[in-house]
């Protein structure tokens, strides 16, 4: 029916009909947009910038089809945060077809970045949505979503972060893999009318096996637990340490969660009645996150669960917002800490091994939070070398500044840095280094501070 707004009444009728058409016809709209993965990726053109959903929400069917179609493209820029899939687009044979602009260099793409076939852009996680709107504007956004609900809204599932901004606030085509395995998390949705092409493909989500918690990790977890009070609100970083910390918190009461991401360890503590979110002063009763990585146990837990609120990263991680949580404790892992308390978390020398992610967002938020604390944790050694060092590796980037750290924790104890002099913090850090390396650190202390260490 052709309804034109000739007169005021006609106009009201027109708007009403359009509105009803959207509400009533989303199912037809959905059907009309259904294509195969191959047809969908044929909409990508040489020179396009393609923003891809990341981590567990990486749309595998679309990415596989895109790589299989590589011969039809030149110089496609792929923008993505954590790549969890096969990442074939980074292989040398595709170097003229694709170039990854990685916003967090995960293990799958480290080699390509090191060998110059892919790039890394340093950026705070909370600023990525703005970066995408202002500079990395997508020609195409590839998504993986839950099937629509009765009103035609798909959930962003386990990954809202920058994906919702790319899809809802930027020009360009939205191509979505609709996957029945994607949990319908609450907080962030996209209507079928916002999608351009839809590919139905049900695939099990990638699962991240829970990290092995050995003696070292368990000791770190216990040390951190001694810094956490009942009622605190936790942010947990990425890696094996956060889950070890959670395992050490079984005796606490009424903890809250406001974090960039969480994993299976949180589910155990909710089920044990330790995490209740009752004493949170900000988004009380809710666990807030922007993406999730874990096993099916986690994905089932967050499905249709109103306790869990999944929001865009510019809302979750912005320190000005996150700091509204009183007693916010940020717990993050790192690669190296020098004797001044400078923290390296995303590079080993010049080699980029991850990204800043939300570490600095939450370290700053914790510092601004009433009663907040920023904890950096690590095993004292890696592959036979000390992670507490006089000088960081040549070429390494400082992720978290020495001014921002409240505590550094290893399996040997806790170093309190906040408010301490350079001399005091060096001493505290040597005390928590592995005993095999303390003597050489003490020599450096004596050279630096012109006094004996004792």
**CB of 240: closest distance to ligand COA in angstroms?**
5
**What element of type H or E holds 239?**
none
Compute how many residues bind ligand COA; rule: CB under 6 A.
Answer: 24
Contact 339, 441 (CB under 8 A): yes
Q: Please tell me the distance from the alpha carbon of residue 103 to that of residue 110, in angstroms, as a whole number.
A: 12
Q: Is 150 labeled as catalytic in the residue annotation?
A: no
Strands (E), 184-277: 189-191, 197-200, 233-236, 256-257, 261-262
**CB of 127: closest distance to ligand COA in angstroms?**
14
Tokens 């009461």 sit at which residue?
Answer: 253
Residue 85 gets the label, from left (phi > 0), alpha (psi -120 to 50) or beta, of beta
- Using the rule CB under 6 A, give the single segment among 73-81, 153-161, 292-300, 345-353 that binds ligand COA: 345-353
Which is nearer to ligand COA, 138 or 358 (by Cβ)?
358
- Helix orientation angle between 264-271 and 240-247, rounded to the nearest 10 degrees: 10
Q: Please tell me the distance from the alpha carbon of residue 357 to that of residue 238, in angstroms, as a whole number.
A: 9
**CB of 62: closest distance to ligand COA in angstroms?**
24
Q: Does 353 bind ligand COA (CB under 6 A)?
A: yes
Catalytic residue among 58, 217, 260, 309: 260
Which is nearer to ligand COA, 382 or 403 (by Cβ)?
382
**CB of 357: closest distance to ligand COA in angstroms?**
3
**CB of 75: closest distance to ligand COA in angstroms?**
29
Q: Does 336 bind ligand COA (CB under 6 A)?
A: yes
Nearest to 328 by CA among 337, 338, 315, 319: 319
Beta bridge pairs of residue 26:
none
Among 290, 345, 347, 428, binds ligand COA (CB under 6 A): 345
Which is nearer to ligand COA, 268 or 346 (by Cβ)?
346
Q: Does 387 bind ligand COA (CB under 6 A)?
A: yes
Which residues, numbered 261-300, are part of the site for ligand COA (CB under 6 A)? 261
Q: What is the DSSP string of 36-69?
A: -HHHHHTT--TT-EEEE--GGG--HHHHHHHHHT
Among 348, 368, 397, 398, binds ligand COA (CB under 6 A): 348
Residues marked as catalytic: 260
Give the footprint of ligand COA on this chain (CB under 6 A): 107, 237-240, 260-261, 332-336, 345-346, 348, 353-354, 357-359, 382-383, 385, 387
């Amino acid at each position: 029916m052709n309804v034109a707004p000739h007169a005021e009444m006609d106009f009201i009728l027109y708007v009403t009909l359009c509105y009803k058409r959207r509400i009533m016809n989303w199912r037809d709209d959905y059907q009309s947009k259904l294509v195969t993965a191959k047809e969908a990726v044929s909409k990508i053109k040489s020179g396009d910038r393609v923003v891809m959903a990341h981590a567990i929400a990486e749309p595998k069917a679309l990415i596989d089809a895109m790589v299989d179609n590589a011969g039809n493209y030149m110089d496609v820029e792929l923008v993505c945060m954590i790549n969890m899939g096969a990442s074939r687009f980074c292989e040398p044979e595709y170097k003229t077809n694709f170039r990854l602009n990685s916003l967090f260099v995960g293990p799958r793409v480290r080699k390509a970045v090191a060998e110059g076939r892919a790039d890394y852009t340093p950026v705070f996680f909370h600023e990525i949505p703005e970066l995408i709107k202002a500079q990395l504007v997508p020609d195409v956004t590839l998504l993986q979503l839950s099937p629509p609900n009765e009103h035609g809204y798909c959930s962003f599932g386990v990954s809202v972060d920058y994906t919702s901004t790319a899809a809802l606030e930027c020009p360009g085509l939205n191509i979505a893999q609709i996957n029945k395995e994607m949990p319908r998390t609450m907080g962030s949705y996209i209507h079928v009318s916002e999608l351009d092409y839809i590919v139905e493909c049900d695939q099990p989500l990638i699962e991240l096996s829970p990290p092995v918690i050995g003696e070292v990790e368990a000791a770190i977890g216990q040390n951190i637990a001694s810094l956490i009070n009942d009622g605190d609100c936790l942010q947990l970083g990425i890696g094996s340490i956060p889950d070890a910390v959670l395992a050490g918190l079984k005796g606490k009461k009424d903890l809250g969660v406001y974090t960039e991401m969480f994993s299976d360890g949180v589910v155990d503590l909710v089920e044990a009645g330790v995490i209740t979110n009752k004493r949170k002063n900000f988004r009380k009763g809710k666990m807030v996150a922007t993406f999730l990585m874990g096993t099916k146990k986690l994905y089932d837990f967050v499905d249709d669960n109103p306790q869990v609120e999944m929001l865009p990263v510019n809302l979750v991680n912005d320190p000005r917002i996150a700091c509204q949580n009183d007693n916010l404790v940020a717990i993050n892992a790192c690669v190296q800490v020098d004797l001044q308390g400078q923290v390296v978390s995303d590079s080993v020398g010049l080699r980029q091994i991850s990204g800043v992610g939300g570490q600095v967002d939450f370290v700053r938020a914790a510092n601004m939070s009433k009663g907040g604390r920023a904890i950096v944790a690590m095993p004292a050694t890696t592959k036979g070398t000390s992670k507490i060092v006089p000088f960081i590796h040549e070429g390494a980037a400082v992720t978290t500044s020495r001014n921002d750290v409240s505590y550094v924790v290893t399996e040997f104890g806790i170093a309190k840095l906040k408010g301490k002099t350079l001399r005091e913090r060096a001493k505290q850090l040597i005390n928590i280094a592995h005993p095999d390396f303390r003597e050489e650190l003490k020599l450096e202390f004596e050279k630096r501070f012109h006094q004996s260490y004792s």
